[in-house]
Structure 1
Amino acid sequence: MQLDPKVLMTIKNLPLLAKTVIDGFMNGFNKSTIKGPGMEFSQYRSYQPGDDLRSLDWRMFARSDRYYIRESEIETSIAVRFLVDASASMNHMDGAIKKIDYAKWLAASLAYLVNIQGDAAGLYVFKDGGLFSLASKADPQHLQRIYHQLDHIQPEGKFTQPAHYKELFGSSRRELLVFITDMYQSRDEIYKLLDSLAALRHEVIVFHLMGQNELDFDFKGYTALEDLETGETIEIDTLQAKKIYKEKLEQYLEDIRMQLLGKHIVYKLINTSHPLDEALREFLLRRKKG
């Protein structure tokens, strides 16, 4: 079941939204790939005293009247850190949907998925001139803290890279970093951050959010556009500018893709008018490969 972002807007409770998104997504997904501690299902074996009862397969019990345990290909869990861009440009709207709202829904849904997989989730919000951090943990109470912080994000100012990123992200532990951003930068600030994160050898996924109106250059009724971070405005002639814009946009997106490919970073463009499914599938694909 896919949930249109317009429907998600009507769900005001973030924990409920996250559960609704993941439950709907899992109904159409092969559940065997997301059971256990976030690992792909491998095989069954007979239950032994002391085994974790959460790994019992009740369908097998119903068919055979015997207890079986699902075994996973890999038994270790990982820490997943969600990095959210909260600069002013994330206030961009496509219809009634803001990029920051889509970012919140995506981060909350993935954090919920991470939690039920038994992995640790952390939240890092890049704000104007600073960074809010919530270290990774794997308990339900911590998930509620993540929801609370996501709920209260108010985008403002420009994107800035924290000076102490090594202290925050330098870890010998296996980690997955999920960066949700619009890739808006004036002096390569985001590229510099990604350079730093890639150098630490963690796996990094970038979800690049763009509105349908940005992708189509569809700003009907507007004669000027405002830069949300600098306040500067430019006059536009949409009919004349559309073809040039589309050509430059295609080159811009290709440049981003190639830049991140060179850093061994996974890149996924996400249209904020589309359901979250594309991002969820990409996340699970990387999680299984990690």
Structure 2
Amino acid sequence: MLDPKVLMTIKDLPLLAKTVIDGFMNGFNKSKVKGPGLEFSQYRSYQPGDDLRWLDWRMFARSDRYYIRESEIETSISVRFLVDASASMNHDDNGIKKIDYARFLAASLAWLSNLQGDSVGLYVFQDGGLFSLASKPDPQHLQRLLYHLQQINPAGTFTKPVHYKELFAGTGRKELLVFITDMYQAEGEINRLLDSLSALKHEVVVFHLMGKNELDFDFGDYSTLEDLETGETMEVNTNEAATYNQKLKDHLENIRMQLLGKHVFYRMISTSQPLDEALRDFLVQRNKGKF
């Protein structure tokens, strides 16, 4: 159920997210997953102000007293999902667009974050503008986030720099920022965004989406390619595959090293890959956030 081709058949995004996480957790060693609602180390007596979601009703039935499941990570964190919705995210590989994969990934990670008691927020960079949905921890807010994810229709170019420091400064606590993008930029605008985010000392994760046809230089019978953001076209010359592959390898390595220098976690993902690797990477970074 983590295969993007299978996920394309599920039209309801909340159902898709739940299906992905249920399947992922069934195949995952749950002892590695820390956080409220998934694994706890002990019970303690309920105190006024405790989150009622972590009351254990079975313990109440046995003892007639209220107990809280105390997690190994006692505090939740804020997870903000940043989604690139510029026109280049409409790139299609074998029926799967990058924006589809981004939608599946963000929805699944938001569902998993909500299970862990984290606040989730959504920020969509599209056609020069920026949609913002601030972080909140409640299930109703998760449904709003999934609704807005479903409505994304990529267009235009990536948003030019805005007041990122004010937008992502939050409450002063560290946060986990998950940026899903194809890293396509005309004037370094994505680099400037990442410079601002890394300066705030948050944990930043970049999932760089690439089509398998881009990685393999395999565009079937097409003889020309069109830039989805500028409309410019170029001829496809299959005799230059070796040169293309080397330039692509150098380009991806350059991105990786740049982000490493900013202390940003980077993972390049093909849109043909199942979601499990990205989910595992997310859990590793989330569990670093014992803020």
Fold conserved between structures, TM > 0.5: yes
Deviation sequence 1:132-169 (CA, Å, 0-9, x none): 00000001111111111111101011112342212210
Q: What is the distance in 2 between the residues matched to 1:55 and 1:132?
A: 35
The answer on whether the counterparts of 1:224 and 1:236 sit within 8 Å (CA) in structure 2 is: yes
Q: What is the distance in 2 between the residues matched to 1:236 and 1:206?
A: 29
Q: Percent identity?
A: 69
Give 2:12's aligned amino acid: N
The answer on whether the counterparts of 2:35 and 2:73 sit within 8 Å (CA) in structure 1 is: no
| 2:237 paired residue number | 237
Q: What is the distance in 2 between the residues matched to 1:217 and 1:250?
A: 12
| 1:90 paired residue number | 89
Q: What is the distance in 1 between the residues matched to 2:57 and 2:17?
A: 25
Please report the TM-score for the alignment, with normalisation by the length of structure 1.
0.90
Per mean C-alpha deviation after superposition, the further-off stretch among 160-169 and 75-84 is: 160-169
| SS at 2:159 equivalent | coil
| 2:71 paired residue number | 72
Counterpart mapping for 1:1-290 below 5 A: 2-34=1-33, 36-37=35-36, 41=40, 43-44=41-42, 48=45, 54=54, 56=56, 71-171=70-170, 172-238=172-238, 240-290=239-289
The answer on whether the counterparts of 1:38 and 1:77 sit within 8 Å (CA) in structure 2 is: no
Cα distance, 1:32 vs. partner? 3.5
Cα distance, 1:37 vs. partner? 2.6
The answer on whether the counterparts of 2:120 and 2:135 sit within 8 Å (CA) in structure 1 is: yes
Q: Alignment length, in residue pairs?
A: 281
Cα distance, 1:56 vs. partner? 4.6
Please report the TM-score for the alignment, with normalisation by the length of structure 2.
0.90
Q: What is the distance in 1 between the residues matched to 2:206 and 2:167?
A: 18
| SS at 1:245 equivalent | helix
Cα distance, 1:40 vs. partner? 6.7
Ranges in structure 1 where 5+ consecutive residues have no aligned partner: none
| SS at 2:2 equivalent | coil
Deviation sequence 1:96-140 (CA, Å, 0-9, x none): 000001000101111111111111000000011110000000011
Distance of aligned partners of 1:23 and 1:208 in 2 relative to their CA distance in 1, 3 Å threshold: same
Q: What is the distance in 1 between the residues matched to 2:201 and 2:283?
A: 19
